[in-house]
């Protein structure tokens, strides 16, 4: 295991409007829930683990996580990233969305190594040229700029602070692209269950 001082934060605070308000993190998949499947893969890589959610009562089983609510209300995933940076002890935080159930330890170890090598503000993979900001590492150096966006933008988006940051992107290998699949809707979820995919 690579030595590092990066914390893990899983974002599970969304309203799940496309899931009829069902908590995506706790949906069953491949004999697990989304969240249990992710945790089983990667929790041993990190000494400090946070769960950012506004539904704290639903995560009582995750006693080895620091469970905290967003510091900015109704501000989307950028608020979750900011909260993780404010609450964690690490010099950086690995941000992961709760709707990526096929996460793999090997890719995260690779990303930790790249972050240590390049020392960017943000390390973010590209999936066929498209950024994956919710499977990325954010340095504490981004915290002030993220806070500015959250305080002064009516509809804050993750991209809004990128122009102020040193971002290192890398393209995922063909074999790694499935690891960042996120399941956004009930129809996508039902498709994955029907296909019984093991990625």
Domain residues of the chain, as ranges?
6-195
Q: Give me the percent of the chain exceeding a pLDDT of 90.
A: 65
Average pLDDT on 171-189 reads: 85
* pLDDT exceeds 80 at position 193: no
Average pLDDT on 44-59 reads: 93
pLDDT of residue 62: 87
Residue appearing with tokens 């919710």? 134
- Give phi and psi for 96, each to the nearest 5: -140, 130
* pLDDT exceeds 80 at position 189: no
Helix (H, G, I), strand (E, B) or coil at 108: helix
Among residues 183, 134, 179, the alpha carbon closest in space to that of 159 is found at 134
Tens-place pLDDT, residues 105-153: 999 999 999 999 999 999 999 999 999 999 999 999 999 999 999 999 9
Which is more confidently placed, 8 or 102? 8
* pLDDT exceeds 60 at position 20: no
Among residues 40, 83, 86, the alpha carbon closest in space to that of 64 is found at 40
Dist. CA 164–CA 152, nearest whole Å: 15
In 28-72, which ranges are continuous DSSP H helix? 34-42
Which is more confidently placed, 41 or 192? 41
Dist. CA 9–CA 50, nearest whole Å: 5
pLDDT of residue 55: 86
What's the whole-model pTM score? 0.91
Q: Tell me, what DSSP letter sits at residue 133?
A: T
Average pLDDT on 24-35 reads: 78
Q: Which CATH architecture best describes the domain 6-195?
A: Alpha-Beta Complex (3.90)
Helix axes 143-152, 76-87, angle to 10 degrees: 140
Dist. CA 64–CA 195, nearest whole Å: 32
Residues near 154 by beta carbon (within 8 Å), at least 6 away in sequence: none
Mean pLDDT estimate for the chain: 89
Tens-place pLDDT, residues 66-89: 999 999 998 999 999 999 999 999
Dist. CA 67–CA 50, nearest whole Å: 6
């Amino acid at each position: 295991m690579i030595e590092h001082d990066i914390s893990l934060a899983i974002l599970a605070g969304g309203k799940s409007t496309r899931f009829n308000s069902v908590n995506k993190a706790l949906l069953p998949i491949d004999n697990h829930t989304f969240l249990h499947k992710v945790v089983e893969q990667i929790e041993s890589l990190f000494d400090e683990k946070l769960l950012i959610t506004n539904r704290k009562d639903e995560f009582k089983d995750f006693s080895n996580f620091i469970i905290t609510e967003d510091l900015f209300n109704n501000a989307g995933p950028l608020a979750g990233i900011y909260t993780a940076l404010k609450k964690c002890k690490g010099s950086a935080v690995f941000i992961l969305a709760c709707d990526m159930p096929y996460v793999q330890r090997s890719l995260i170890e690779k990303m930790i190594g790249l972050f240590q090598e390049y020392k960017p503000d943000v390390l973010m993979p590209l999936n066929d040229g498209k950024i994956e900001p919710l499977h990325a590492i954010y340095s504490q150096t981004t915290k002030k700029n993220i806070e500015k966006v959250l305080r002064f933008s009516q509809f804050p988006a993750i991209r809004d602070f990128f122009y102020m940051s040193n971002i290192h992107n890398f393209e995922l290998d063909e074999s790694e692209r499935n690891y960042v699949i996120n399941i956004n809707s009930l129809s996508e979820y039902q498709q994955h269950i029907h296909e019984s995919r093991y990625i």
